[in-house]
Chains A and B, each alone.
Chain A
Amino acid sequence: MSTARQIEANQKNAAKSTGPKTGRGKAKSAGNARAHGLTTPPALEAVTRWYRTILDDISAVPDPLSQNETGRAALSLAEAEAQLERARGAEEQVLADIAKALDQSTQAPGDGGPTLDLDRPDEIFEVLKDEMDPELRMMIKLLTRYGPNTTKSRTERLRLSQRYRREAEARRRRALHRWIAVQPREQIGA
């Protein structure tokens, strides 16, 4: 258990770091997760599609204000499924990029001599290194290290999309358990 002194120190430290203070900082922080949109609520169309599939009713319409336990559990599961579908799609896109880059690198050599692979900035650097002024060289160097087409950046995107997918799967699991739990009760009461 924390001592009174530790609690006091924690409170003091927390007061020093309460997030962005300026309007610009707050606006930037608010948009942190907007780049991929994976944390925003899923589209109503996708939720409705899943809601109908779960209830096996092609004309069912989700009602967020419903007091019916089955309807609420179905809606919660539908939202979780729609979120998971989106996360899986994003991950598949990253994997497709990795597979595509790999596929290009495994093509057997042609007869056309060397070609500049724009997906490999290290090659651009190799070719232009003697022609460049130091500033441009530094920029290309940064591109080779942090550019979107490096293996490192693709791996990082895959890691991030995996994280969102795992979270979405955990949410779906909770919603599915709730859905399973309401099944027999409704049947008995029917």
Chain B
Amino acid sequence: MEDFLVAKSNLANQIETGAAHAAGSELLDLLPGIELFPGEDETTYEGLRQAFMADLAPGTPYETALAHNLITLEWEAIRHRRIRDGLLLAEYRDQAMGVFSKGEVGAVSSFGRSKEDEDAAFALVNPDPEIRQPAELQLAEYQITPAEILAKAYRQVAKSVEIHERILSDIEIRRRRLRDDFDRLKTARNRPVEDAEVVEG
């Protein structure tokens, strides 16, 4: 984990509503933050956190912890989508490697391929069209379409991808439930006390 970018978000900084006080801040300081994985953008996370905090406006340390739970769920959805897409992309590239080294769709071990084959396969999944185009032309020479490679890649990683798909749909339900509970907790706190009398100080 040492090589991971550790971006501990300090929950004490998350009380921005003015409702919490110094003791609350101290309490929140003790709660765990989230660790960003390599490739995850801290600015994006920070933007998401601020938007959620502004919307949820937690008023107590525990409400802030629950609000943070909601942010974590949202971030996890982004994370699972990224891993799912990454798994498919990596497999697509590995399957494409076979086309460039053997002329057929299929993964090749790193000892059975040349540097040129690797470069071509990496270029094929490059987001820049200028870098991608020569690799696509090379692919066309083998009369193999990207759809063929994608189909094989999907078949290979279907099981690994499936769990992320399932977690994604599950997160949606959990997020809705937690939001519902968060709102109920806030309502309970704000509920007027029946028969209350204002005592003049």
B57 at the interface (CB under 8 A from A): no
A69 at the interface (CB under 8 A from B): no
**Taking A56-B24, A106-B86 as contacts, is the C-beta distance between A96 and B181 under 8 angstroms?**
no
B37 to A152, Cβ gap below 8 A?
no
B89 at the interface (CB under 8 A from A): yes
B111 to A123, Cβ gap below 8 A?
yes
Residues of B within 8 A of A26 (CB): none
Q: List 28 A-B contacts (CB under 8 A).
A: A56-B23, A56-B60, A56-B61, A92-B35, A98-B83, A99-B38, A99-B83, A100-B4, A102-B87, A105-B90, A106-B86, A106-B89, A106-B90, A106-B93, A114-B110, A115-B110, A117-B110, A127-B111, A159-B163, A162-B167, A166-B170, A173-B181, A177-B181, A180-B185, A183-B188, A184-B191, A188-B193, A190-B193
Taking a contact as CB atoms closer than 8 A, the residue among A53, A92, A117, A152 that contacts B28 in the complex is A53
Which A residues have a C-beta under 8 Å from some C-beta of B? 49, 52-54, 56-58, 81, 85, 88-89, 92, 95-96, 98-100, 102-103, 105-106, 108-109, 111, 113-117, 122-123, 126-127, 151-152, 155, 158-159, 162, 166, 169, 173, 176-177, 179-180, 183-184, 187-188, 190
B32 at the interface (CB under 8 A from A): yes
B174 at the interface (CB under 8 A from A): yes
**Candidate in B37, B89, B112 with the most chain A CB atoms within 10 angstroms:** B37
B16 at the interface (CB under 8 A from A): no
B109 at the interface (CB under 8 A from A): yes
A126 to B112, Cβ gap below 8 A?
yes
Chain B 104-117, CB within 8 Å of chain A: the 1/0 string?
00000111110100
B118 at the interface (CB under 8 A from A): yes
Which B residues have a C-beta under 8 Å from some C-beta of A? 1, 3-4, 23-24, 26-28, 30-32, 35, 37-39, 60-62, 65, 72, 79, 83, 86-87, 89-90, 93-94, 109-113, 115, 118-119, 122, 157, 159-160, 163, 167, 170, 174, 177, 181, 184-185, 188-189, 191, 193-195
Which 5 residue pairs of A and B lie closest in terms of their CB atoms, listed nearest first?
A109-B118, A126-B109, A99-B37, A114-B110, A183-B188
Residues of B within 8 A of A152 (CB): 159-160
Min C-beta distance of B172 to chain A, whole Å: 14
B163 to A96, Cβ gap below 8 A?
no
Cα–Cα distance between A57 and B21 once the two chains are bound (Å): 11
Residues of A within 8 A of B167 (CB): 158, 162
Cα–Cα distance between A99 and B86 once the two chains are bound (Å): 9
Residues of B within 8 A of A159 (CB): 163
A122 to B122, Cβ gap below 8 A?
no
**Taking A58-B23, A188-B194 as contacts, is the C-beta distance between A155 and B72 under 8 angstroms?**
no
Min C-beta distance of B29 to chain A, whole Å: 10
Cα–Cα distance between A53 and B24 once the two chains are bound (Å): 7
B177 to A173, Cβ gap below 8 A?
yes
Taking a contact as CB atoms closer than 8 A, the residue among B109, B113, B177 that contacts A122 in the complex is B109
